[in-house]
Structure 1
């Protein structure tokens, strides 16, 4: 409850505009209770950023044992789009943090994310070597996957305006199918249509 409330306030107000009182109000708690769990706004912010980061890292586990890119990257796209749907504010907080030079999470970028990216790039290189997909730069493929899936969270307002309202269940299903089709066909992981 606290992390969800903080996620919303940080996404809407940014780190500088967020206050512990706003977060406490959003969570329906006295401010003293909030401070019991998180002594500072910085500690709470870091917990929000760590939460979305862990969710994203877990989503990518589907790639590790997948038979090939159609299965692994396809499942990863599904998972990432579902995260954009269910954790849009967490994604927005992460995006804002990175756009501001990652003052709080630079250590994650230099360690955990770098190691994670190297591990997923190795999986992609293996699929390339096995002839299961076109020879592409694995890191740039990962950047493209992040951009195309997180766009639905980070620019959700724009999508809703262009869609004429929030995406329906059918719209989310179509988005997943379209993103997978475009990317998987583009990297040669699907047979020609």
Structure 2
């Protein structure tokens, strides 16, 4: 949007920005950053390409805006892990929250995965400044629970990685999952992951 004014965006401007970002989320999650074009985003949003460029300078600004919005949402489930809670309950709750995100936010999961697969060129500052300190803090909490005998001893870092892998799989590989399973995947996934992590972590 043009600089030089502090005027509050109109309802139409807010609606159009929202339309553009929602359409771009569809396009980026389907085609990746490199495969996505402004023409595709304009078509998906039902707006002209010049209209898109009124609100955003180009494809990269749209992509960065989506990633910035996503980061807080992506960190929230880990933030909620409570050091004062019951360790097994906290970890299994984290697994369930991540699985719920795969069900409810599949486009966002694929957007995030696509960025990471490219080497995180636009998200690396967030990973260093936001994710790494939080990751270190929560891994330290998990290690304390293990040292206190409340959980089995495993590497907390790889435990968290495995939770990410096993839950986000259901979003990132949704087409394959739905071909291979005859039922709705998230219910059976929740039961399996609960059993697997409960068995792994039982002291």
- Please state which band the TM-score falls in when normalised by the shorter chain: 0.7 to 0.9
Q: Which has the larger radius of gyration?
A: 2
Which residues in structure 2 correspond to 1:91-130 (within 5 Å)?
91-130=109-148
Gaps of 5+ in 1: none
- 1:180 counterpart = 2:194: yes
Match of 2:178 in 1: 160
Q: How does 1:69-148 map to 2 (within 5 A)?
A: 69-148=87-166
Rounded to whole Å, the distance in 1 between the matches of 2:69 and 2:191 is 27
Give TM-score, length-normalised by structure 1. Answer: 0.87
* 1:59-101 residue CA offsets vs partner (Å, 9 max, x unmatched): 2222125512221111111111111111112111211211121
Contact 1:38 1:44 survives alignment (8 Å): yes
Please report how far the alpha carbon of residue 114 of structure 1 lies from its aligned counterpart in structure 2 after TM superposition: 1.0
SS at match of 1:64: coil
How far did residue 147 of structure 1 move?
0.3
Higher mean C-alpha displacement, 14-23 vs 150-159: 14-23
How far did residue 153 of structure 1 move?
0.7
2:39 is the counterpart of 1:21? yes
Structure 2: gaps spanning 5 or more residues: 1-18
How many matched pairs?
185
Contact 1:63/1:73 (8 A) holds in 2: yes
- How far apart, CA to CA, are the structure 2 residues paired with 1:105 and 1:70? 31
Contact persistence 1:66–1:72 (CA under 8 A): no
The alpha-carbon deviation at position 39 of structure 1 amounts to 2.0
